[in-house]
A = this chain, B = another copy of it.
Amino acid sequence: MKKTALSEPADTTSRRGRPRSERARLAILQAAADLLLDQGGGQVSMDAVADRAGVSKATIYRWWPSRERLALDALLEWLSAGSPPRDTGTLRGDLLALVRPWVRDARRRQFGRVIAALIAEAQSDPGFAADYRRHFIEQRREPMQAAFARAIDRGEVPADLDIEVALDLVYGAIYHRILQGHAPLTDRFAQQVVDLLLNGILHRDRARGT
């Protein structure tokens, strides 16, 4: 299913009048995505999108309520080839399978800028925050929650583990590097994060390597 977009006008079962131009819709999303990933979040002005898409500003505002909503939609369209979650048999395998593609996406062009702009907007627009969390955050947390649940079923981890906290450690660390940029975001880093979370950092009673 392609259209998870936010631009649906409520219900659209009534079919009166001129139908919506698919050409315009795609041009707008494409222009927005280009601007997002080339110039960064701050450059997605409605004027710029309208200009680049050959579309009038009013047309954009008819379907998207704000710049950020459009940016989110464009980004979702662009990311939509999401990896289907896999069951590798071990928690470590599952986590790496989930984390690595995300790390690779996040390393792209101006991804940090885009995410940062979305987060910033989410701080002051509750409506947008809800959409953002649902489409961006929860969508990635859910498969990882399932992986943890499977690990509990397998007896790999204690049943009283607070899964939410564990998720925050994994995604938090990755987001931290994306946003703060104090150190590079590598595959090796992703692996280190997973291993540190699984094993902890304290010495064990008996010799146990990382």
Contact = CB atoms under 8 A, between A and B. Distances in A.
Nearest to A171: B176
20 contacts: A42-B123, A117-B120, A119-B120, A141-B182, A161-B201, A162-B196, A164-B183, A165-B173, A165-B193, A165-B196, A166-B201, A168-B183, A168-B189, A169-B196, A169-B197, A172-B174, A172-B175, A175-B176, A195-B210, A199-B202
B175 A137 contact: no
A169 B199 CA distance: 13
Interface stretch (A7-15, A27-35, A44-52, A152-160): A152-160
Interface hub of A110, A117, A169, A189 (most chain B Cβ within 10 A): A169
A203 B129 CA distance: 36
Closest 4 pairs (CB-CB, A-B): A200-B200, A172-B176, A172-B172, A172-B173
**A interface bracket (residues with beta carbon within 8 Å of B):** 35 or more
Given A168-B183, A176-B176, A183-B168, A157 B123 contact: no
Interface in A186-210: 189, 192-193, 195-206, 208-210
A202 B141 CA distance: 20
Given A180-B119, A181-B122, A205 B202 contact: no
B41 A123 contact: yes
A25 to B, nearest CB: 22
A202 B162 contact: no
Contacts of A40: 123-124
Interface string A129-141: 1000100011001
A203 B165 contact: no
A76 to B, nearest CB: 16
